[in-house]
Structure formats: C-alpha cells, structure tokens
C-alpha cells in the first residue's frame, strides 16, 4: 500500500475560509428524483446518526437506521451535560468562525486537520438555528434571546446550553426529526439490533450483517453507502463515564474489513469524576468541570494524613494546581488537571479509602459568596454527588478523580468523511477527524451534529453520484461469507463454557489499559501491556463463561461479543501509544516531558495522523501516515503557568 | 469476589425477582440471597447477583440499563411496588443501597402495562412510546431550512416551562405507576413542550390530535386524575402538562380543519 491512499481530499488552491463552500460546489449532485434509487444504511442513532438519517431521508434517499438500544432516543449522546459551542458571537465579545477554529486546533494540540476543523466552526452557526427551529429549549435571557456561558477555558462566551441536559435536548431534537421521517415511511428503523459486520462487494462497502438482540437472528442488509455513527471506544478501559453498552464493535468490524483506524491512543481523561468506591463499581459519573470555577483542589501535604479534611489546617494542605499553575490555577485544561491528580496520588497523598482521589473544596467559596449562591450555581450537581456518595459537599469537600470520558481517535476519514474503504462513511465520535489529540469542552455535540446535519448530506454524493453502481443482492457470496463468520463467532463464544465471567475479563482488560495506557504512559509499561493483553485475549477464548443460547435476548452474549472486540482493539491502542514517541494532548508519554513536567510534542517527527491497516489476525498492523499541515495557525507550546 | 476491610458494612438481602423466559412464557417470582455494600447502586447489586448466578451455572437476570446516570431512560423496575424505587425524583440506576438495611426483603418486578409487553425477565418493550412521538412529537423543519436562531424571541418563562416538560426521559414510570396504565404524562410532556414554544404553533392542533389518537391505539388506559404518574416521575414532570394537553386537544377537536 502506498501512502497515496491517504488522500485527505481537502480542496487545494482555495483560502481556508472558502474551502468548504468551494468543495460543495465542486461535488457532484444527485438529482431529487434519482435519490430514491439509493439506500443508505445508518448505524447508530446518537447525534450524528439521528441527524444524518433524518437529513438524508428529507432529501429523498431511502434510509435504514439501526440502534442497539430499545429506542433511538437512548444513545449515549443523551448524557452530555455542559453545552454546545457555536461561533454566533451573540455576546459581541470578539468571537468568530476563525476564533472557534483557532481555539479548537490549539486545544487539540495541533494534531487535527485544519480544513475539517474550520468546516466544523462554520457549521456550528447553522446547528443552533436548526435546533432552535426544532423546539430545543435552550436557556434564554429575560429578553427572550439565547443565553451563553463560558466553557473549557475559552476567552469568549460561545456555549449554548439547556440546563445541565444539553445533550439530551439536542438528541431529542434530532430524534424528533428522525421520527418524522420514520412516520413518513422514509426511514426504516431497527431497534435492539446490532451491526456485527460490514460487507464489501468488489472493494466497496455495500451492506452490513446485523444480529437482532431479541431473537438472535442474523440479517443481511444491502445498500449503496454505509454510515457508521457508533460513538467512541472509552469502554475498553471498563470503567469510564460512557454508558454500559458503548462499544467499539462496529468500528472494529469495519476496520477488520479494510477501514483504517487512526490515532487510537488519543483518549480523554476527564479530571472531575466521582471516584471508585469498591470492586463492584460498574461505571463512573462525571461532575461538570464548571465546578472548578469555585472549588479548590487540594491534598494533604504529608502522606498518610488521616485527619478528616475539615481538621486539616491550610498550612498542611497542598493546593497543588494553584501552586504549580499560578495564572490558571484550578482552571487548567482537562489533561493537565488529570495528570496532576494522578501525580499526587502516585506520591501517596491521595485521599479516601482507596487513596485514589483528591479534594475539591467549596469551603472558601461558601464563606465568600454564601451557601445560597453556591447552591444556585451547583445545586443539582451537589445533590447528584450526595446521592451517589452519601456525603454532603456543603460541609465536606468532594472527593474527585479522573476518569475516561471521550476518545478522539477513530476510523480514518477524508474530508468527505469517507473512510479509505469506498462507500463507508464515519461520523461523530467514531471518526478521528476534528479534535486532534484533545477535545475541548462543548465540542463533541457540535461535531456530531455538524457531521450529520450538514457534512455528510453534502459529501455523500461524492460516492453515490460518481460511480456506476451495480445492484447488489443479499444473496451475494460476500453477504453469505460475512453472515457465516458472524454466526461462528457468537457460536464459539457460547461454546467455551469456561470458568470466568465476561465482566471479570472486561475488568481485567480495563485495568491493564488504565494502568499502562491511561493518564501517563511509558515504553516499559506499554510493552508489557501488549503481552498482557495478548495473553488475556487467549485466555478469554479458552475460559470465558457465556450462558444461555443465541436464539433469544441474551445480554451476557451481547457483552461477550463486544469484549471480544475490545480485546483485539486494545492491542492496537497500546501499539499506537507505543509508536507515538512524543506527548500531545491526551497522550502523555513520561519520557517526553519538559523540565517542568509538561507535555512535549515532537512536531518534526509526529505531525501526522497515524492510520493503521489491519493485515489479518496475528499479523502486525501497517502504519499509513497523513501529514498534517498548518498554514493558518502557528504551532506553539501550550503553557498554563 | 473477595471482601476487603473497607467492606465491613456488607448487608444480606433477600430479593424476590420476576423471571420470565420470553414474551409468551408465564413467568413468576424467584428468591435469591445477595450481599450488598451500602455504597453500591441498585443495579450494581443486581450485577453482583448476576455474577453469582452465572458462576453457579445459572443464567443472569435480564434487565435494561445503559447510562447509569439517570438520563437515558433505559432502566426501569418496580421495586417494592414503586417504579424506580423509594427515592424521590431518582431513577433506579441512581438509587443506592444505603436506602436499605441488613436483612431487608426487596421485590423486583418489571413495569407492567398491556402496552409494554415483557421481552424477558425485567426487560419490557416500550416501542409504543416511540410510535406516539412518531405520530407528531416534532416540529416539521427540514435540515438547513431554519431561520436565524434569534429571529424569534422566546420569553424566558415560556422557555423554562418548555424545558421542564422536555426533561422527560421516556422511561415509562408514569405508565407503571398509573392504576389505568395511562401514558398521559409522557404524551403531554411532548405536546406541552412544543405548544409552549412559538416554533411549535403551526402544528399545534394536529399534533395534539395525532398523538392522543396514537396513545389510545397503543392500548394505554385513560387518565382518572390519580397523579401517581407525577409522584413516580424521576424527572419531576408535573400534571399541569396533562391539563395543557387536554386544553389543546379539546380546542383542536372543535377547530381542527383536518
């Protein structure tokens, strides 16, 4: 394979600000009466999937959509709390498309593709218009205009929000649009239905194999394009803020059928989550990072200080973020805050029964502003914290610890959001394109909706209009082969009848990834993780215990299939982290840091996206590089001192 | 799983759980014993029980769950007779075992309603809710056809009321709590949200009629003002929304041109 296959297809010879407009003009069109001749398969119904399915159906394409939950409305986009960025400049505080573009490229530590990011910033404006028209109840000021707040260290107020439930409201808006098309007969919706393979015919993605989770039946679906909108892979770590069913299966199956996986080592660890309380812990809960506006982060100065926090005088407390980063203090970016929490806990100063937590203390804010003011700002978060931990954060400092939250890596896509596998498009968190090595707050919702509402409906013609596509039938050999392979895999899982549960294996895999490919990574740890993962995977297929049968609802079998894919994916993630000999964004290699302990990029050697090609089971992946060029921003070192 | 020194407060519970192999199976209660820590969530207690069952070669109990932070609406369960259990405005996934004490008995059933057939054990089919929303729970606006977001002002009071209604997570606790298994609170929350916003006016009448018609078709019961729905709702949706929907429906019945 030559690197020429990694053509990003960004428009050349056009100024960045005009590139998307020009590209849309240059794309071929499919006329309205011809659109009904095409069938598009949309996998996943979060923000990206719902918005894409609805928009394509409105345009006249036939759409079949699939989700694993009992309703499209339950996709994990629903859990996003904070907000969605848009360069509306309604506050007249100097925001612009260019500034949002600039902030996002810089926030991504210069590892994203400029053209995609600029297009994202452009689309942000239309997203807000679209959502308001759908009846999304964004927060408003008394004059009836939309309210904004600041977020994630940006110096402008550009974040639109619907209380602490912005993701829910945006998803329900997109789900409404999808419902309208289902009702019109333009979208066929399959729920509790999991994609288990992609089918290629003559090197083009022409269909998928699904497994009905209620009946266990395998089905073949043919189409003219496949859109994967299946989210991120954070659950490879077992514990994360992701929903329990989030998985890498669709992306990984597509990868094994030829789609390159890019930058899997870019994972985001969110600093403010409720810590683990015991071995039974099933997931972690995020506490909005807005808490760091008023809460002060500290640990006791000496190891083994077991006094209760209110008994520890200021002189014996280490407000380590304020000490190390006097100008940003507690408001340093997510990756920096997370790494520092890990460092103090590694140093034996962590608090709580596990020693894996730091305090987030509102004592001073309550003294300064009064309890009522703090309650008005954070009341619902304090209540959620108390419900989970049984402690009252008004009188006892919160205990927090970082947790896996989002994954920037994903399937490689070009400017059209098409993977290297023709006919396969990838949207939202499932692709790698817009956030580089670190995502800024309130940008995930923006990307999911930009991809679904505005990008793919325009770019899908690059695939559909050009090719003279042969009709495919689900009786084609390629469908039969893919279905048989899927059946075998599930049958095999059912037939092991070993001694350890799927959950035990998943936890063990998660622990390896968290310890050795988490907030800080080094060569020795990553190398040992590779062999540990291989050994665990082998043990999995020898000793996993999956009960029941494949002919009815079997949640244990569903989980087993997903963990099997995580077992393979984890090796690629760790391998990517090992190969990237620099620190950038969410990827911190201990060998590559400044004297002050900050991330040190190596722009000369690593200003590229690493896209990995699957060469067969047991074979090494082949690396393809997409060089990243920065013509519109200057590469600098982020500093928060 | 071994127990460490931090888990000395473990409590022993007797749980009675509804088991049903499939939609056409009769089903019945089975009793189990489980040890739980007060810091566990309710669903983590079920996880622990399932691990124990599977280690003994018995199939785990099927139950729906996903986000485990109270927003996706996937979890359900009637716990000792109460949908989502005893805590006010709390979903089952956010309920914690510190609400129980050593030796307690807990009965766990699925949400029961004709319109929510049981799939397996505690898993139910709530697709009737999707079909109610498909009947009209949206504003018809094609992608790209929207005016600027500031073209229409929305008074803050209206926007806040719309958000109150929009907070519905579609879990179905309102139906499970209602003696008539009515879906009025669910349907009314969406009708209300869109009726309160200027963007929702064009289809206001047709929406109310279509959604209520679909709700009746699905086999949900009628509202006889018990307000159990409001008491059970984990998101605090109020019955004012039902009044709003009834007004819209009545007016639409007289004035609709459809």
- pLDDT digit string, tens, across residues A426-461: 999 999 989 999 998 899 999 999 999 999 999 999
A86, A143: one domain: yes
> Does the beta-carbon distance from B68 to A282 stay under 8 Å?
yes
A73, part of any domain: yes
Q: Would you state the structure tokens that stand for residue A13, as one six-digit string?
A: 């010879």
- Where among A556, A579, A602 does a domain terminate? A579
Give the number of domains in chain A.
3
Two structure tokens written together for B240:
């004012």
- Nearest chain B residue to A56, by CA: B143
Q: What is the mean pLDDT of residues A193-211?
A: 97
How many angstroms away from the CA of A194 is the closest CA of chain B?
A: 15
What confidence category does residue B256 fall into, taking pLDDT thresholds of 50, 70 and 90? low
Q: What three-state secondary structure class fits A139? A: coil
Q: Is the dihedral of CA A82, A84, A87, A91 positive or negative?
A: negative
What integer is the mean pLDDT of B56-71? 97
Residue pair B172/B124 in contact by the 8 Å Cβ criterion: yes
pLDDT tens-digit readout, B208-233 = 999 999 999 999 999 999 999 999 99
Instruction: Examine the domain organization and report whether A290 and A311 are in the same domain.
Output: yes
SS3 readout for A163-225: CCCHHHHHHHHHHHHHHHHHHCCCEEEECCEEEEEEEEECCEEEEEEEEECCCCCEEEEECCE
pLDDT greater than 70 at residue B8: no
Task: Measure A72 CA to nearest chain B CA, in Å.
Answer: 9
> Among residues A73, A75, A319, which one has the least CA distance to residue A177?
A73
Domain CATH number, residue A560: 1.20.58.100
The reply to whether residue A126 touches residue B40, judged by beta carbons under 8 angstroms, is no
Q: Are A360 and A272 in contact (CB under 8 A)?
A: yes
**A73 to chain B: nearest residue by CA?**
B72
Q: Supply the CATH number for residue A239's domain.
A: 3.50.50.60
Q: Are strands A410-411 and A261-262 parallel, antiparallel or unpaired?
A: antiparallel
Structure tokens at B54: 């599977």
Q: List the single range of A30-44, A159-173, A378-392, B121-135 with lowest mean pLDDT.
A: A378-392
Residue A468 binned pLDDT confidence (cut-offs 50, 70, 90): low
pLDDT at res. A335: 84
Q: Looking at the domain assignment, is residue A514 inside a domain? A: yes
List the domain range (segments joined by +) for residue A376: 270-405
Q: Based on the fold, state whether residues A378 and A289 are members of the same structural domain.
A: yes
Whose tokens are 């890990």? That residue is A342
Say yes or no for a CB contact (<8 Å) between B126 and A245: no
Nearest-CA distance B110 → chain A (Å):
15
The answer on pLDDT for A3 being more than 80 is: no
Q: Which residues of A touch B87 (CB under 8 A)?
A: 387
Average pLDDT, stretch A207-212? 98
Residue A359, domain member (yes or no):
yes
What average pLDDT does the structure give for chain A?
A: 95
Of A305-314, A352-361, A625-634, B249-258, the one with minimum mean pLDDT is: B249-258
> How would residue A161 be classed by pLDDT, with cut points 50, 70 and 90?
very high
pLDDT at B1: 34
Q: Are A414 and A9 a contacting pair, CB within 8 Å? A: yes
pLDDT at residue A208, as a whole number: 98
Is A334 part of the annotated catalytic residue set?
A: yes
The reply to whether A233 falls in a domain is: yes
CATH of the domain at A350: 3.90.700.10
ipTM score assigned to the predicted complex? 0.97
In a domain, A625, yes or no: no
pLDDT in tens, A517-535: 999 999 999 999 999 999 9
Which one is catalytic: A111, A334, A537, A601? A334
- For the segment B115-144, what is each residue's pLDDT rounded down to a tens digit? 999 999 999 999 999 999 999 999 999 999
Rounded distance between C-alpha atoms, residue B116 and residue B107, angstroms: 20
Determine the average pLDDT of the residues in A505-513: 98
For A39-70, what is each residue's pLDDT tens digit? 999 999 999 999 999 999 999 999 999 999 99
Inspect the interface and report whether the beta carbons of A73 and B48 lie closer than 8 Å. Answer: no
Interface contact flag, A165 B167, Cβ < 8 Å? yes
Q: What is the pLDDT of residue B7?
A: 45
Q: Is residue A604 part of a domain?
A: no
Q: Which residues pair with A40 in a beta bridge?
A: A63, A225
Per DSSP, helices labelled H in A278-433 are 320-324, 334-346, 363-369, 371-389
| Domains defined for chain B, CATH in brackets | 8-109 (3.10.20.30), 127-140+153-255 (1.10.1060.10)
* Option in B136, B143, B163 nearest A457 (CB): B143
């Amino acid at each position: 394979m030559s690197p020429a296959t990694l053509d990003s297809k960004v428009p050349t010879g056009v100024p960045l600000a005009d590139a998307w407009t020009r590209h849309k003009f240059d794309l071929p069109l499919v006329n309205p009466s011809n659109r009904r001749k095409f069938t598009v398969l949309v996998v996943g119904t979060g923000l990206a999937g719902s918005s894409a399915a609805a928009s394509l159906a409105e345009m006249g394409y036939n759409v079949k959509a699939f989700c694993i939950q009992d309703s499209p409305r339950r996709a994990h986009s629903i859990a996003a709390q904070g907000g969605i960025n848009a360069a509306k400049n309604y506050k007249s505080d100097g925001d612009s498309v260019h500034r949002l573009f600039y902030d996002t490229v810089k926030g991504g530590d210069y590892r994203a593709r400029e053209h995609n990011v600029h297009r994202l910033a452009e689309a942000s404006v239309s997203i807000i218009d679209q959502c308001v028209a759908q009846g999304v109840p964004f927060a408003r000021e008394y004059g009836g205009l939309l309210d904004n707040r600041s977020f994630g260290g940006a110096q402008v107020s550009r974040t639109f929000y619907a209380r602490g439930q912005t993701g829910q409201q945006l998803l329900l808006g997109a789900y409404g649009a999808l419902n309208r098309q289902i009702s019109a007969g333009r979208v066929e919706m399959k729920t509790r239905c999991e994609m288990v393979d992609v089918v290629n015919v003559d090197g083009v993605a022409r269909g998928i194999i699904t497994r009905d989770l209620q009946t266990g039946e395998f089905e073949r679906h043919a189409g003219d394009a496949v859109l994967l909108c299946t989210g991120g892979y954070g659950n490879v770590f077992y514990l994360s803020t992701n929903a329990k069913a989030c998985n890498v299966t669709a992306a990984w199956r597509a990868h094994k059928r030829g789609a390159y996986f890019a930058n899997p080592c870019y994972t985001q660890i969110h600093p403010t989550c409720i810590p683990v309380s015991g071995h039974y812990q099933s997931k972690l809960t995020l506490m909005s990072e807005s808490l760091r506006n008023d809460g002060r982060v500290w640990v006791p100065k000496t190891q083994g200080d077991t006094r209760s926090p209110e008994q520890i005088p200021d002189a014996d407390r280490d407000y380590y973020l304020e000490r190390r980063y006097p100008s940003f203090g507690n408001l340093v970016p997510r990756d920096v805050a997370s790494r520092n929490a890990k460092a103090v806990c590694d140093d034996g100063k962590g608090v709580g029964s596990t020693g894996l937590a730091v305090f987030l203390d509102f004592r001073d804010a309550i003294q300064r502003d009064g309890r009522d003011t703090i309650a008005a700002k954070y009341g619902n978060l304090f209540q959620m914290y108390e419900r989970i931990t049984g402690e009252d954060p008004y009188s006892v400092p919160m205990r927090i610890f970082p947790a896996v939250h989002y994954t920037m890596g994903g399937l490689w896509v070009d400017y059209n959001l098409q993977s290297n596998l023709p006919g396969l498009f990838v949207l939202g968190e499932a692709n790698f394109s817009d956030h580089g090595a670190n995502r800024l707050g309130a940008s995930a919702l923006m990307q999911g909706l930009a991809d679904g509402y505005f990008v793919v409906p325009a770019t899908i013609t690059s695939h559909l209009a050009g090719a003279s596509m042969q009709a495919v039938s689900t009786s084609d050999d390629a469908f039969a082969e893919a279905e048989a392979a899927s059946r075998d895999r599930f049958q095999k899982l059912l037939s092991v009848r070993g001694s350890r549960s799927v959950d035990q294996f998943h936890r063990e895999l998660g622990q390896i990834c968290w310890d050795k490919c988490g907030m800080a990574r080094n060569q020795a740890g990553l190398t040992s993780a590779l062999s540990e993962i291989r050994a665990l995977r082998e043990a999995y297929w020898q000793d996993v215990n999956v009960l029941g049968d494949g002919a009815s609802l079997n949640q244990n079998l569903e989980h087993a299939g997903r963990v099997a894919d995580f077992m393979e994916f984890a090796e690629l993630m760790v391998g990517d982290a090992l190969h990237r000999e620099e620190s950038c964004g969410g990827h911190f290699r201990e060998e590559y840091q400044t004297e002050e302990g900050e991330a040190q990029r190596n722009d000369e050697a690593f200003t590229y996206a690493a896209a990995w090609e699957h060469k067969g089971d047991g074979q090494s992946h082949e690396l393809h590089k997409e060089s990243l060029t920065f013509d519109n921003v200057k590469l600098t070192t982020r500093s928060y001192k | 799983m071994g127990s460490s020194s931090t888990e000395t407060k473990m409590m022993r519970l007797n749980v009675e759980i509804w088991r049903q192999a499939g939609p056409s199976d009769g089903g019945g209660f089975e009793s189990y014993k489980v040890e739980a820590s007060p810091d566990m969530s309710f669903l983590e207690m079920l996880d622990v029980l399932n691990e124990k069952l599977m280690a003994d070669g018995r199939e785990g109990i099927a139950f729906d769950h996903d986000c485990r932070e109270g927003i996706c609406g996937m979890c359900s369960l009637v716990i000792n007779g109460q949908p989502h259990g005893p805590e006010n405005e709390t979903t089952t996934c956010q309920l914690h075992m510190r609400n129980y004490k050593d030796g307690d008995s807990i009965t766990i059933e699925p949400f029961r309603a004709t319109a929510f057939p049981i799939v397996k054990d505690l898993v139910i089919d709530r697709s009737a809710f999707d079909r109610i929303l498909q009947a009209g729970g949206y504003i018809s606006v094609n992608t790209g056809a929207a005016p600027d977001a500031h073209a229409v002002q929305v008074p803050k009071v209206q926007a806040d009321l719309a958000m109150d209604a929009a907070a519905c997570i579609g879990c179905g606790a309102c139906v499970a709590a209602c003696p008539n298994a009515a879906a009025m609170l669910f349907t009314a929350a969406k009708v209300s949200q869109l009726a309160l916003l200027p963007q929702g006016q064009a289809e206001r009448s047709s929406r109310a009629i279509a959604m209520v018609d679909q709700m009746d078709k699905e086999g949900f019961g009628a509202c006889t003002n018990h307000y159990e729905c409001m008491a059970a709702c984990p998101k605090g949706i109020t019955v004012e929304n039902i009044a709003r929907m009834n007004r819209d429906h009545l007016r639409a019945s007289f004035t609709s041109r459809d």
